[in-house]
Amino acid sequence: MDIDYARIQRILDEIEIKFNIENLFISVDFINIQSFAQGMYFDYHMHSNYEFHYIVDGKGVVNINGKEYNLEMGDFYLTGPGIVHAQFTDDNNPMFEYALKCSIWMEGEAANCFTGNECRHIFDILRKHHGKVVKDSNSLRFLFEKAFEEVYLKKPWYYMELKNIIFEILVASARNIAEEFIADYDIPRKNINNSRMEFIKSFINDNVDKVLTADTIAQHLFLSTRQLARIVKEETGCSIHEYIMLQKVEKVRKLLGNPQTKLHQIAEMTGFSSEFHLSSAVKKWGGKSPGELRKEIKHV
């Protein structure tokens, strides 16, 4: 995309961006596209929020708490609350940078403790490890320019996507300055058998009008028939055929609750070839005939 930086900057300046991920809150002051003129600089200052700087091109120097760092293309640095810093461009090769300035804070406990733990981890990294220059290794340029493209083209849901990208910039920045290379904390783990059993049950219910076999179910759920049989047996005590029939009979029972629905219609809706086949299966697996079940339901 050919970038009209002036237009993008005008659009960005008008957008209010405030959001939270669990108990991590972000309020954006600005997203800036800064082209330094020869001799331009930002003198020593500090602020109460965070500034994320990515050097797109050129060279310069940043002084952070009295220590100077050379800047060049691909460098990233973060300044946080109370950090005194100044930025100077190289006269022969002026800098061009993307910057995000925002407030970041935590409130209370997260509703989801696992996501909340990750948010706390990001916040702690940004809060404790800012004030140094590193090479970006997490695609910050791509993320900034993706944000620019979203606001420039204004595709549907671009505001939602813009907030997602800003959070991605925070994550990428934390990864750039983190001392850890792998996550050393727990995340939610699902019970694989329980999860697969839910898929099996959902698939049978979603396709109850068809003739179902262990082979067709296993194929659609990317399981072997042996895996399928083992999971169903462990979770329900039934064979796969028994479980299919019990699910079908349960569906029949629900459909019998509508007195206007004829048996031949129920047979079609539950994958039985005829009323006779339906009645035999319901009697065998439900213990009563469809007529008896319908009377029973009627008097509930």
pLDDT of residue 27: 96
pLDDT at site 142: 97
Across the chain, mean pLDDT equals: 90
pLDDT tens readout for residues 206-254: 999 998 999 999 999 899 999 999 999 999 999 999 999 999 999 999 9
Output the pTM of the full model. Answer: 0.77
For residue range 136-155, what is the model confidence (pLDDT) as tens digits?
999 999 999 999 999 999 99
Residue 300 burial by CB count (10 A; 0-12/13-18/19+): exposed, middle or buried?
exposed
Which fold is adopted by the domain 192-298?
A: Arc Repressor Mutant, subunit A (1.10.10)
CB 100 within 8 A of CB 141: no
Considering the segment(s) 5-177 as one domain, its CATH architecture is: Sandwich (2.60)
Tell me the pLDDT band of 111, cut-offs 50, 70 and 90: very low
Could you give the angle at which helices 240-256 and 192-206 cross, rounded to 10 degrees? Answer: 50
- Greater model confidence, 109 or 53: 53
Mean pLDDT within 271-286: 91
Q: Which residues of 257-271 are buried (b: 16+ CB within 10 A; e: fewer)?
A: eeeeeebeebbeebb
Contact 122, 177 (CB under 8 A): no
- What number is the average pLDDT over the span 43-71? 94
User: Residue ranges of the domains in the chain?
Assistant: 5-177, 192-298
Which pLDDT value is given to residue 182?
73
